Amino acid sequence: MTTLPGVGPRVGQKLHRLGIEDLQDLLFHLPLRYQDRTRIWPISLLRIGDEALVEAEISHCEIISRHRRMLLVTIADGSGTLILRFFHFNSAQQKMLQAGTRVRCFSEIRKGPLSLEMVHPEINTVADHVPSDVESRLTPVYPTTEGLHQNQLRKLADHALNWLSQAENRLSEWLPEQYLKDSLRYGLNEAIAYIHHPPPDADVGLLEEVRHPAQQRLAFEELLAQQLSLIRLRAKVRTQPARLLRPSRTLFPNLAASLPFTLTKAQQRVITQIGKDLASTTPMQRLVQGDVGSGKTIVAAAACLQAIEQGYQAAIMAPTELLAEQHFRSFSQWLVPLELTVSWLSGKQKTKQRRKTVEGLSSGATSLVIGTHALFQEDVSFTRLALVIVDEQHRFGVHQRLALREKGFADGHCPHQLIMTATPIPRTLAMTAYADLDYSVIDELPPGRIPVKTVALSNARRSEVISRVRKACEQDRQAYWVCTLIEESEVLQCQTAEDTAALLARELPHLGVALIHGRMPAREKEDIMLRFKSGEIQLLVATTVIEVGVDVPNASLMIIENAERLGLAQLHQLRGRVGRGTVESSCVLLFQSPLSETARHRLQAMRETTDGFEIAKMDLKLRGPGEVLGTRQTGMLHFRIADLVRDQRLIPLVQKTAKKLFAEQPQNVDFLIRRWIGNSEQYGQV
């Protein structure tokens, strides 16, 4: 495809930030919304909040300085008057805007002190008595980036559309069209043209929700391409030989016997499934989903020991330093008594330490390594890596997961791969998002867990909550106080964590109170966490940084401020930080009245259940699936147009079509993947 015309390196860089490298990318860079310049509105019909084109004569123009200097231009079109307000203007503009001049302006209509106004409208003078044209199509508003003007993007997009309109440049259709005729009303080229410049009578509401048939046509094709690439990826991996790992006869039975608990049925079932996968020369590709606290770590350990007992290495990748460190501790505790070496690799390690770990891996002396994404840096190599485990998959992209698998390629063998996640994703979605994986669920919590008692209290009862914290800490327990935003925000009127920490320290002078938030240097965070673990700090005021990976069993009280602002999944993760010890824990959801209907249901759901899957189900009902998968979770797949959740309806047909294409038009599979996903390395040599 041709490169972009008249684009220098500076604009090029900005386009790159938007993921635009060539004409095709421009075609697929779709408008977020539209402006209507297809007709001129009489001033009398304008409504606040509309964006409208107005043509009128200037009746008055003056500079006033109240709080600041501004230019006020009054225009009239016979039906009414409108004020144009400018805070920045030069004398040339002022001269242009003389009484008697006809102007055409476009902007949002706002309510001013005296009449309706436009603030800094786009404005052109209109020559007298020359009827000038209006646009014939809606004007696209594109997602853009700092320093890149809409007009620049529009020009580039128009250029791309022009290019597309030439017969020889039309994009080919690779879908089995006959078969899809009823479902897909637009051809690819028509869909693209329509979406960039819809006709004046288009259903803008539908377009802005990305549910218009033209957009769905593209979403369908993109979902299909993703599905094809995942299926092909899976098939490709399955052609690679893997090490056959026999079930562990000594190491895991020994570990299991030394545990202070017995495995749940669900853990046993999943361990058996994994065990079978590993005892095969086809590489395992399995996703294990299990709620917070369901005991995924020991399942991972069972898999590792099956590899290690056969003389191979295993690697575990965690998304944060905090979590990796916690795994390192658990695994050391379990494996060192079995006379195995566990090592640790992180981006923050001192060079000397790091070198030692890296040497252990390349010499084969180390059988298990745990680390962050530092694991797949260039200097890390394994001799006999047979198993790769990725924890909390939703925090990694497909790319990182595959990169680690590639690392393990030694003398033509592909490592087995196990992915673990606590995010309860509904089954159909999981099967689409992870079409390359098999799927297991740990649907049972270890027995004897004392469910966390949850109450919801209005902010008006803060002082009660503070005395509750005091009482808990006087009984040698510890508490978290979670604030949802760290900065004062006028809009949200959220209490800052800083203020809260200061206030609580004042109210609870005998307690060790400390603050932890995401903007602190990592060292400081670690230090505070250690002091909290040791009990020196009793009340930890935190932002949501503690959502994942914090394990302090003595903490038995969790206060979440402005709980009405958080989604169920996040509330559940946060609450999961308590209820880990032997005493009954509780969670207080502080909320700001009045509660919206949804917020009320959310808080009620939290009070009624502690089961992550139940909560996920309710979350789906309350928020619609869109936010359940959230941006963080969908980081695993990057869509330009499609949305796995919004477009769920398309998925059955996507899956059927994928099968059909593989069977009947395999050459098109390749074309489709290349069009939508490109030759990015993640789908290359795996």
Q: For residues 296 and 525, which CB has a smaller minimum distance to Mg ion in the complex?
A: 296
- For the window 278-297, what string marks contact with Mg ion as x by the rule CB under 5 A? ------------------x-
Residues 6+ positions from 666 with CB-CB distance below 8 Å: none
| Residue 82 interacts with, from ligand ADP, Mg ion, none (CB under 5-8 Å by kind) | none
**Least separation, in Å, of the C-beta of 295 and ligand ADP?**
3
Nearest to 295 by CA among 324, 253, 267: 267
Q: Which residues in 98-127 contact ligand ADP (CB under 6 A)? A: none
The answer to the question of residue 573 lying near ligand ADP (CB under 6 A) is no
Residue of this chain nearest to ligand ADP (CB atom)? 295
Q: For residues 291 and 647, which CB has a smaller minimum distance to ligand ADP in the complex?
A: 291
- For the window 456-475, what string marks contact with ligand ADP as x by the rule CB under 6 A? --------------------
The answer to the question of residue 294 lying near ligand ADP (CB under 6 A) is yes
How far is the C-alpha of 4 from the C-alpha of 234, rounded, in Å?
Answer: 35
Nearest to 538 by CA among 560, 512, 505, 557: 512
3-state secondary structure (DSSP) of residue 512: coil
Residue ranges of the alpha helices (H) in 348-411? 351-363, 398-407
How far is the C-alpha of 311 from the C-alpha of 148, rounded, in Å?
Answer: 56
| Residue 290 interacts with, from ligand ADP, Mg ion, none (CB under 5-8 Å by kind) | ligand ADP
Q: For residues 290 and 408, which CB has a smaller minimum distance to ligand ADP in the complex?
A: 290
Q: Please state, as a whole number, how many other Cβ atoms lie within 10 Å of the Cβ of residue 110.
A: 13
**First-to-final CA distance of the chain:** 26
* Amino acid, single-letter form, for residue 179: Y
The answer to the question of residue 255 lying near ligand ADP (CB under 6 A) is no
**Least separation, in Å, of the C-beta of 296 and Mg ion?**
5
The answer to the question of residue 292 lying near ligand ADP (CB under 6 A) is yes
- Is the distance from CB of 678 to CB of 181 less than 8 angstroms? no
Q: For residues 12 and 293, which CB has a smaller minimum distance to ligand ADP in the complex?
A: 293
Q: For residues 73 and 255, which CB has a smaller minimum distance to ligand ADP in the complex?
A: 255
Look up residue 420 and give its DSSP letter: E
Look up residue 624 and give its DSSP letter: -
**Which residues on neighbouring strands pair with residue 454, listed in sequence order?**
587
Binding region for ligand ADP (CB under 6 A) out of 275-283, 288-296, 338-346, 483-491:
288-296
Residues 6+ positions from 270 with CB-CB distance below 8 Å: 288, 290, 299, 440, 441, 442
Q: Which residues in 391-430 contact ligand ADP (CB under 6 A)? A: 422
- For the window 434-453, what string marks contact with ligand ADP as x by the rule CB under 6 A? ------------x-------
The answer to the question of residue 505 lying near ligand ADP (CB under 6 A) is no
Residues 6+ positions from 88 with CB-CB distance below 8 Å: 120
How far is the C-alpha of 156 from the C-alpha of 146, rounded, in Å?
Answer: 17
Binding region for ligand ADP (CB under 6 A) out of 112-120, 289-297, 393-401, 633-641:
289-297
Q: For residues 117 and 391, which CB has a smaller minimum distance to Mg ion in the complex?
A: 391
Residues 6+ positions from 334 with CB-CB distance below 8 Å: 255, 258, 301
| Residue 264 interacts with, from ligand ADP, Mg ion, none (CB under 5-8 Å by kind) | ligand ADP
**Least separation, in Å, of the C-beta of 318 and Mg ion?**
8
Q: Tell me the two tokens of residue 597.
A: 């209907």
Please pick, from the candidates 215, 226, 297, 346, the single residue that binds ligand ADP as defined by CB under 6 A. Answer: 297
Contact residues for ligand ADP (CB under 6 A)? 261, 263-264, 267, 290, 292-298, 422, 446
